[in-house]
A and B are shown apart, each in its own frame.
Chain A
Amino acid sequence: MRERIAYSPIVDRPALHWPGGARVAVWIVPNIELREYQPPNDPARDPWPRSPHPDVRQFSHHDYGNRVGFWRMLDILDRFELPITASLNLEILEQLPEIRDAIGERGWAVMSHGLTNTRYLYGLEAPAERAFYRRSVDLVRRHLSVPLLGMLGPSLSASERTPDLMAEAGLVYHADWAHDDQPVPIRVEAGRLISMPYSFELNDAPLFRSHFDGDDLVRICRAQLDRLLVESEESGRVMCLAVHPFLIGAPHRARAFERVLAELSDRRDVWYATGDEIATHYLDHEQEHARATGPVAQL
């Protein structure tokens, strides 16, 4: 960690400025995932640890997200017209054309979430991980005609080389880091890479796997944005809302999700942006911030 990231307390940095003088950049990230009924065995981590495979209950709970939950989530997102960054298991572009087209037609930004959520990066040799990025970049270019700029690791997995190989493949932001309310540089062998503030707190997966439910997410989002707006008078902040269609798309959460989006919408001093837009702005305009917060000899 120390080699990749310089310790930089947020109280001791140059000011960070968002477009139009906005104080908080909000990005909304649905994680659209493809999981396998019988994934390959990975000694590092079992995607279905509850029972020997298949685990029909867990597999089909996630499958619900693509068959049903995604479409309810989409119906709600469409009414708010906020910029969306899909954190996408990229094999979906090949295998679930209706979902690919729904994303493409709306012009959402696409951040890689790996190829599937049941194939991890742990211990991958460099050639295999390079092939993984080649396929990722190619899928996005071929299906959506845009460059791939960011990644949230597949099911949050990584190898020791991941940041270096991401930068080598032309990606510029990595969302696995939960260490900050602002982007900061990550040390890589060549090229440029920044961490993009994602959230494991404003995130339906940890919340809705415990006793929290929709109304809690409404309160958490409201409180988070209120507080970040207070703290950002001098220097901009990032707020991320992460959701998963198999959870937020359940019928009993539809009303709460509408309230979450209503809380986040139409706020003064907020820049509604995609991960790609936040990263591009930071890299183009925040060199001083990056120099002050990054590892030595970066950027």
Chain B
Amino acid sequence: MTADGSRVGDHGLFPWSPIASRSVFTWPGQAHVGLCAIVVLESIEWGPLPRSTAPRVQRGGLGARPFPDIARVSHNEYGLRVGAFRVFDALQAARVPLVVALDAATAERCETLVNHCRDLGAEFVAHGTTGSRMITAALSEEQERGEIESTLERLESALGQRPVGWIGVEHGESVHTPRLLAESGMRYVCDWVNDEQPFMITTPAGDIVALPLALELDDTYALDDRGVPVWRYRTMIEDASDRLVQDAADGARVLVLGLHPWLIGQAFPDRGARARTRARHSPSGCSSRHGTRARRVVVRTKSGGRAE
């Protein structure tokens, strides 16, 4: 407790739980690491938009540009037209199941792309109405509920199925988001980046699984926000996977990678760099990783794979 009596940092969503103090956690087949690659397919708007955060500034040192910033918007569009297909090929070659985070606008605009994902057996994760509309505390609760419901209805209409997982644009949440997602029937959320095992968020509308994404290994965070060279990105993922397998002796881990085709789907990252976003071809690696769709992780968690 602090001097003024409040508990510091408490959000009331889930208890404090250091990974070293947890009971054993396992994946099917005794796999060491559950690997989940989430390909983010999103459409961005010309913006700026009211109540949204500023658009991502394109690298190159020129700063933010006014409307119409064709360079920025078309750079994103490259991922939907070209890059996505390279990323799908790489994941398929690596036998990593396809999980797609999809916003409503892309689901409606890019029918061929969506059909292609469906043909590949993709699992769809809801990702807002557009990639420019981050949920924040600047929205009223009603506005936020509308944003979530509109996303799910439009995705259901375009896909013929309602997703059960959510990843917010820019990981955006208000204090209400976990409850509103649970109310909307979402079973898991990937906004939280604070763990290497799934954990449960408790809300008055029911529990929702937090499936933590590896922020440091997200391509936009590493390559665009930080400016890590892509050849180093490859060794980062190799090193992470080696260490996670080693640490899994004390409890299995999850590695959830966010991949954005406008960036990692460029032609110049060598095939290896893309392919390394999955299991490495080492004998120990292949036997110890478990490519998984996000939903299978959730099922495992709900069925009592975890102590928390």
Chain A: residues with CB nearer than 8 A to chain B?
Answer: 34-38, 50-54, 56-57, 60-61, 63-64, 66-68, 70-72, 74, 91, 94-96, 98-99, 115-116, 118, 131, 135, 208-211, 213-215, 247, 250-256
B239 touches A67 (CB 8 A): no
Query: What separation, in Å, do the CA atoms of A192 and B3 have in the docked complex?
Result: 27
Query: What separation, in Å, do the CA atoms of A57 and B16 have in the docked complex?
Result: 17
Which of A36, A61, A135, A251 is the one whose CB lies under 8 Å from B9?
A36
Query: What separation, in Å, do the CA atoms of A131 and B239 have in the docked complex?
Result: 45
B232 and chain A: residue at smallest CB distance: A213
Asked whether A253 and B174 contact (CB < 8 A) given A34-B9, A50-B53, A68-B195, the answer is no
Chain A residues, CB < 8 A from B227: 210-211
Which of A34, A56, A250 is the one whose CB lies under 8 Å from B216?
A250
Docked complex: B227-258 residues within 8 A CB-CB of A: 227-229, 232, 235-237, 239-244, 247
For chain B, the count of residues having a C-beta within 8 Å of the partner chain is 52
Residue in A53, A60, A74, A96 whose Cβ sees the most chain B Cβ within 10 Å: A60
B18 touches A251 (CB 8 A): no
A250 touches B240 (CB 8 A): yes
B29 to chain A, nearest CB (A): 21
B239 and chain A: residue at smallest CB distance: A252
Chain B residues, CB < 8 A from A61: 193-194, 215
A256 to chain B, nearest CB (A): 8
Chain A residues, CB < 8 A from B19: 67-68, 71
Query: What separation, in Å, do the CA atoms of A51 and B177 have in the docked complex?
Result: 15
A36 touches B8 (CB 8 A): yes
Asked whether A251 and B247 contact (CB < 8 A) given A37-B9, A211-B228, the answer is yes
A20 to chain B, nearest CB (A): 36
B173 is an interface residue with CB less than 8 A from chain A: yes
20 A-B residue pairs with CB within 8 Å = A51-B134, A52-B137, A54-B175, A56-B168, A60-B194, A64-B195, A68-B194, A70-B18, A95-B9, A98-B20, A99-B18, A115-B2, A116-B8, A210-B226, A211-B227, A213-B228, A213-B236, A250-B240, A251-B241, A251-B243
Which of A37, A50, A52, A252 is the one whose CB lies under 8 Å from B10?
A37
Query: What separation, in Å, do the CA atoms of A77 and B240 have in the docked complex?
Result: 18
Chain B residues, CB < 8 A from A247: 216
CB-CB contacts of B181-209 with A at 8 A, as 1s and 0s? 00000000001111110000000000000
A182 to chain B, nearest CB (A): 33
B151 is an interface residue with CB less than 8 A from chain A: no
Asked whether A255 and B194 contact (CB < 8 A) given A98-B18, A98-B21, the answer is no
Query: What separation, in Å, do the CA atoms of A211 and B181 have in the docked complex?
Result: 35
Query: What separation, in Å, do the CA atoms of A211 and B237 have in the docked complex?
Result: 15
Chain B residues, CB < 8 A from A50: 53
A91 touches B8 (CB 8 A): yes
B137 touches A53 (CB 8 A): yes
The 3 A-B residue pairs with the shortest CB-CB distance, nearest first, are: A57-B171, A252-B240, A60-B194
Chain B residues, CB < 8 A from A115: 2, 8
Which of B168, B194, B195, B196 is the one whose CB lies under 8 Å from A251?
B196
